[in-house]
Amino acid sequence: MTVKDYVIYIIIIYQFKIMNTYIIDYNYIFYIFCLFIVLLRLNIQYMSKMDKDIFYYLLMNNDNTLLQKYRDYFPSCNKIPIECDTYIFMIVYILYIPIVCCIILVKHIKNLCNDILLYIKHPLLLSKGMAYNAILPYITQNSRLTPATFNKIYWNKLFRNLNIKTPTIIGTIKNGTVKYKKGYTITDSSKYIIKDVYGCCGNSVKIFDDKNIPTSGYYIIQDYIKLTDNITYRIITNSIDKNINILDIYSLQNNAVVTNISQGGKLQRISIEDNPILKYAGLQCINAHKEVNDTHNCNTIGWDIIVKDEIAYFLEGNIGVSVDNDNYIKFVEHFYKNNV
């Protein structure tokens, strides 16, 4: 305990005795006295030195002008005699831990109640927005989307039409039959990867092995751009009244071939303001989203991007992505109201 702690301690105990002069039941006095001692000890133990210095200053200053400022924020307290301010202040000091706990609890309960009401109204928010941005485009007015509309070949064609860099698809595998594009030959299969045309979450993505061809399913064979830092990026764009804006940007890191969270990848929100490569990629994302919306009306798209030798390569777009944004439900409701 510091000297200031002892001073506050003594003053409050002395004032406490004065306030209890007229209490007859000494058992109650003893119990309350013990409670106050415990609270004071806790205050001294846990309150920071800075906060204690402020309390000490307000308690010891003869000019109560600063102490009386609370009346400006709570006008109804002007009915309380000014002489009571010091005693009120000491009670607040003694009970500050229970008071702080109650205030935090009330705030938490308020947020908890709001969250409960929000999720009762919108239970699909538990999917972090994926259910909204994955399904709403299919049920919009005059929608031409079907479950087979978007696939990795679609995204590859979109990027090439917009002159956006993307790994080249050199062939396909369909139910065990390999078909290479004209002009392509395989010399080292490890330079390529295969992906399920309709796959998601990084499932079925693996290094191409021409001696171990899948006998069922539909796959693309694509250039494999090996990264030195095993980091990919996801830029999420959002459409509001035909205006496309960047909603969020993430980096995903994993030592595996794919970096998806579902494959054990580590996700982190980032900024691209100081990264000219990703900043330009963000503009390309906006243009690509506009192009998609010329044919299909999609509210949110997550763009998977890798950077190699200062070049951003677009892998694909995803209309079902998780969105960690408190205002996202407002965007979704606006999109639903105007397009469904």
Let me know whether 272 and 232 are in one domain: yes
Residue pair 306/233 in contact by the 8 Å Cβ criterion: yes
Let me know whether 315 and 179 are in one domain: no
- In this prediction, residues 25-42 reach a mean pLDDT of 68
Backbone angles phi and psi of 22, in degrees to 5 = -95, 5
Let me know whether 155 and 183 are in one domain: no
Last residue of some domain: 224, 247, 265? 224
Position 260 in a domain? yes
Q: List % helix, strand, coil for the chain (3-state, nearest 5).
A: 50, 20, 35
Let me know whether 196 and 94 are in one domain: no
Let me know whether 211 and 265 are in one domain: no
pTM across the whole model: 0.70
Give the span between the Cα atoms of 51 and 207, in whole angstroms: 60
Give the span between the Cα atoms of 249 and 260, in whole angstroms: 14
Last residue of some domain: 179, 199, 224? 224
Q: Give the chain's domain count.
A: 3
Region for 304 from its dihedrals, namely left if φ exceeds 0, alpha if ψ lies in -120 to 50, beta otherwise: beta
Position 29 in a domain? yes
> How do strand 177-180 and strand 169-174 relate by DSSP bridges?
antiparallel
Q: What are the tens digits of pLDDT across the range 151-188?
A: 999 999 999 999 999 999 988 889 988 898 888 777 77
The pLDDT value given to residue 247: 92
Let me know whether 309 and 240 are in one domain: yes
Q: What are the tens digits of pLDDT across the range 115-147?
A: 888 888 898 898 888 889 989 999 988 888 887
Position 109 in a domain? no
- Residue 327 sits in which domain range? 127-165+228-339
Share of the chain above pLDDT 70, in %: 85
Let me know whether 260 and 248 are in one domain: yes
pLDDT band for position 20 (cuts 50, 70, 90): low
Position 118 in a domain? no
Tokens of 237: 């764009």
Last residue of some domain: 224, 252, 267? 224
The pLDDT value given to residue 261: 56
Let me know whether 201 and 303 are in one domain: no
Let me know whether 157 and 182 are in one domain: no
Element (H, E) at 221: strand 218-223
Position 176 in a domain? yes
Let me know whether 152 and 238 are in one domain: yes
| SS3 label, residue 40 | helix
Cβ count near 238 (within 10 Å): 23
Position 117 in a domain? no
Let me know whether 161 and 91 are in one domain: no
Position 113 in a domain? no
Let me know whether 203 and 234 are in one domain: no
Residue length of the chain: 340
Residue pair 164/303 in contact by the 8 Å Cβ criterion: no
Q: What are the tens digits of pLDDT across the range 89-121?
A: 778 887 888 888 888 888 888 788 888 888 888
Position 7 in a domain? yes
